[in-house]
Amino acid sequence: MFSFNRLFGREVEPANSKLSSPQLSEPLFVIGDIHGCHDQLETLLEKIWQAEGYDARIITVGDMIDRGADSSVVLQRLFALQRVAGSRLTCLKGNHEQMMLDFLAKPESAGLRWIQAGGLNTLESFNVTWGGQLNSLTAIAEQLSQALGPDLLVWLQGLPTFWEESNVGVVHAGADPTAPLSDQKDDNLIWGHSDFRKVRRPDGQWIVHGHTIVKEPRIKNGRISIDTGAYTGRPLTAVEINDGQIMFLQS
């Protein structure tokens, strides 16, 4: 297996010396916020598979949709991959998936918020056109539900909000640093927590997350930040955690 340091073209920041290194039973690749960027996703998947094979263990941190142009293709691709890969691929729920689900459940009250946050791009990717009339949101939600289809919709509704093994956790946005991930409200994990970047976790758990854009992937105080703003034209980032080492790969 070749080094991600070489693939990325530079040395990465070492893990914080005051923390135990992240310990996993096998290599793990975590992909940041995709936001409808299908081409970047395919490029990154190919690099992961070249490095570790098609049986690589992969997690996406959520926000698969919105803002980018190809949300429908991204969802269908990951849904199909997971049906084949099973537990080797885990797709977490982000706040954008939650906003879309809220829109489908309560279009009149939740629709405008999602559309203004990038949902319009997702509607367009499913060939659903919204003319801007608030009184048409219920009809638009019905059209989107039909375009998604029952299988994809059930999959989206059932997406987990966190993954963890040993001293590594993966969430979309952040977490309450004083509580185990399994004890937290979904809102903490998909929207973030006010203390996430202020207070270091006392349990020594590493947290991989997206949600907040960083210019470069970042390792700080046990937090690994990998949302590098793919929908803005920047690369899509993945982190590999392997044998206690933290390395990055970009599309």
Give a yes or no: residue 58 inside a domain: yes
Q: Per-residue pLDDT averaged across 161-174, rounded?
A: 98
Range of the domain at 64: 4-94+159-250
| pLDDT per position as a tens digit, 117-165 | 999 999 999 999 999 898 899 999 999 999 999 999 999 999 999 999 9
Give a yes or no: residue 73 inside a domain: yes
CA-to-CA dists, residue 210 to 116, 123, 141, angstroms: 20, 23, 27
Q: Are strands 223-225 and 218-220 parallel, antiparallel or unpaired?
A: antiparallel
| pLDDT per position as a tens digit, 65-83 | 999 999 999 999 999 999 9
CA-to-CA dists, residue 250 to 43, 62, 63, 90, angstroms: 9, 17, 17, 19
Give a yes or no: residue 40 inside a domain: yes
Identify whether the C-beta of residue 90 lies closer than 8 Å to the C-beta of residue 100.
no
| pLDDT per position as a tens digit, 11-62 | 344 444 467 999 999 999 999 999 999 999 999 999 999 999 999 999 999 9
Q: Is the pTM of this model over 0.75?
A: yes
In angstroms, the CA 108 to CA 220 distance is 41
Give a yes or no: residue 147 inside a domain: no
Identify whether the C-beta of residue 117 lies closer than 8 Å to the C-beta of residue 96.
yes
pLDDT for 209: 99
* CA 153 distance to own-chain centroid: 17
Give a yes or no: residue 154 inside a domain: no
How many domains, the chain? 1
In angstroms, the CA 94 to CA 206 distance is 19
In angstroms, the CA 44 to CA 234 distance is 13
Residue-by-residue DSSP string for 10-57 = SPPPPPPTTSPPP--SS-EEEE---TT-HHHHHHHHHHHHHHH-TT--
198: helix, strand or coil: coil
Half-sphere exposure of 224 (CA within 13 A, CB side): 30
Residue-by-residue DSSP string for 81-100 = HHHHHGGGEEE---HHHHHH
What residues contact 221, with CB distance under 8 A and at least 6 apart?
Answer: 16, 19, 200
Whose tokens are 């947290």? That residue is 207
pLDDT for 19: 75
Rounded to 5°, angle at Cα 92 from 1 and 198: 90
CATH number (domain holding residue 78): 3.60.21.10
Give a yes or no: residue 189 inside a domain: yes
Give a yes or no: residue 130 inside a domain: no
* CA 113 distance to own-chain centroid: 20
pLDDT for 8: 43
Residues written for the chain: 251
Give a yes or no: residue 29 inside a domain: yes
